[in-house]
A = this chain, B = another copy of it.
């Protein structure tokens, strides 16, 4: 890499500033373009299988009573990010960035920012203006995931992390998983298995499932945070190995899978870079109930909220395919949900020794 990504972003931020100076010099109303983040500009791109933000854009003007403060605030954020990147400062949370920017405006009876709700959407605007992820702007969200398996990473700190030697805890997912922070030196896994729940991950990790099956075993502890999504996207782009997602058999589990695979509406721009279209749904699925003879005692009646959520996700464009329409209809008809934890009711080893191997060997998954 000739130019570091952070230098590229600094250049982009500088050119935004230059554009505004040009506006001033030319006597124009200073402005910059921002891609619209409204739902109307979000679509599911069937070709790539990713939720995307469209190209619709708006101008934000300085001489505009409704936009002047936002204009100023956006530039304050852009400037601060530029300074922090140039000074190679540590990464901040978006709340910390807010605190570095919140202050009185001398002479005015006004603060730069009053609430974090003001700065958060403008940070997203700066992401769009620079075509960079928040993490590339050196801003973090709290990660939750852990993983183990045959992968060696050179961390930004210089530490070399061998994910076969991370003990009972597994290796923690760091807040930034971009290549300059989390450089994957070796990937020797035959496949990647993402597990919804920590307790199931922990069971598999204890039995060294990842070693016996030479795979990478990861969990995002329920709904994944940004870092786990982005990491899975990197795996999908950089390594030509199967990626399986294993969740509860309920609309919440299905949705978690969809977030990994397609992205999410509210973070459509992030989804372009954090979706993993090659991810496959391994289970639990309704036909597993019969195929694996799941005991009646492990079934839990679907409640009103579950039925409502089934209707909701049935209507999402990325669930408009034969597999999911059938799966969702089958679930509704069956009337029960089953958690992945419940596989222990067969036996404690059942998940590792029977269920997962059978599903993978028989290619019994949603492709």
Instruction: Annotate A136-171 by CB proximity to B: 1 below 8 A, 0 otherwise.
Output: 000010111010000001011101110001111111
Selecting from A48-56, A266-274, A280-288, A292-300, the interface stretch reads A292-300
For the complex with contacts A144-B144, A159-B166, A168-B176, 19 further pairs of A-B residues with Cβ separation under 8 Å are A90-B206, A96-B199, A96-B344, A99-B339, A99-B344, A99-B345, A100-B344, A100-B345, A103-B295, A111-B297, A140-B202, A142-B198, A157-B208, A161-B165, A161-B166, A161-B167, A168-B182, A169-B172, A170-B172
Q: Does A175 contact B (CB under 8 A)?
A: yes
Complex contacts, A207 vs chain B, CB 8 Å: 90
Give the residues from 241 to 255 in chain A that come closer than 8 angstroms, CB to CB, to chain B.
Answer: none
Do residues A174 and B182 form an inter-chain contact, with CB atoms below 8 A? Answer: no
Do residues B172 and A90 form an inter-chain contact, with CB atoms below 8 A? Answer: no
Do residues B146 and A168 form an inter-chain contact, with CB atoms below 8 A? Answer: no
Q: Bound state CA distance, A84 and B171, in angstroms? A: 27
Q: Does A122 contact B (CB under 8 A)?
A: no
Q: Bound state CA distance, A155 and B206, in angstroms? A: 12
Q: Looking at the complex, which one of B103, B172, B296 makes contact with A146 (CB distance below 8 Å)?
A: B172
Do residues A341 and B93 form an inter-chain contact, with CB atoms below 8 A? Answer: yes
Complex contacts, A157 vs chain B, CB 8 Å: 167-168, 208
Chain A residues in contact with chain B, CB under 8 A? 84, 89-93, 95-96, 99-100, 102-104, 111, 140, 142-144, 146, 153, 155-157, 159-161, 165-176, 181-182, 198-199, 202-203, 206-208, 221, 295-298, 339, 341-342, 344-345, 348
Q: Looking at the complex, which one of B153, B160, B168 makes contact with A155 (CB distance below 8 Å)?
A: B168
Copies in the complex: 2
Q: Looking at the complex, which one of B91, B99, B174, B202 makes contact with A91 (CB distance below 8 Å)?
A: B202
Do residues B100 and A199 form an inter-chain contact, with CB atoms below 8 A? Answer: no
Do residues B104 and A297 form an inter-chain contact, with CB atoms below 8 A? Answer: yes
Complex contacts, A203 vs chain B, CB 8 Å: 90, 92, 96
Do residues B142 and A348 form an inter-chain contact, with CB atoms below 8 A? Answer: no
Q: Bound state CA distance, A100 and B207, in angstroms? A: 17
A337 to chain B, nearest CB (A): 13
Q: Is the interface of A mostly helix, strand, loop or mixed?
A: mixed
The answer to whether residues A159 and B167 also contact, given A89-B348, A341-B95 and a CB cut-off of 8 A, is yes
Residue of B nearest to A102 (CB): B297
Complex contacts, A208 vs chain B, CB 8 Å: 157
Q: Looking at the complex, which one of B93, B156, B169 makes contact with A174 (CB distance below 8 Å)?
A: B169
The answer to whether residues A91 and B140 also contact, given A167-B155, A168-B175 and a CB cut-off of 8 A, is no
Q: Looking at the complex, which one of B100, B102, B103, B153 makes contact with A348 (CB distance below 8 Å)?
A: B100
Q: Bound state CA distance, A146 and B143, in angstroms? A: 11
Do residues B341 and A199 form an inter-chain contact, with CB atoms below 8 A? Answer: no
Complex contacts, A171 vs chain B, CB 8 Å: 169, 172
Complex contacts, A182 vs chain B, CB 8 Å: 167-168
Subset of 24 A-B contacts with CB under 8 Å: A90-B207, A91-B202, A93-B341, A95-B199, A95-B341, A96-B203, A99-B339, A100-B344, A103-B295, A104-B296, A111-B297, A142-B199, A143-B169, A153-B167, A155-B168, A156-B168, A159-B165, A159-B166, A161-B165, A161-B166, A168-B174, A168-B182, A169-B171, A175-B202
Do residues B168 and A181 form an inter-chain contact, with CB atoms below 8 A? Answer: yes
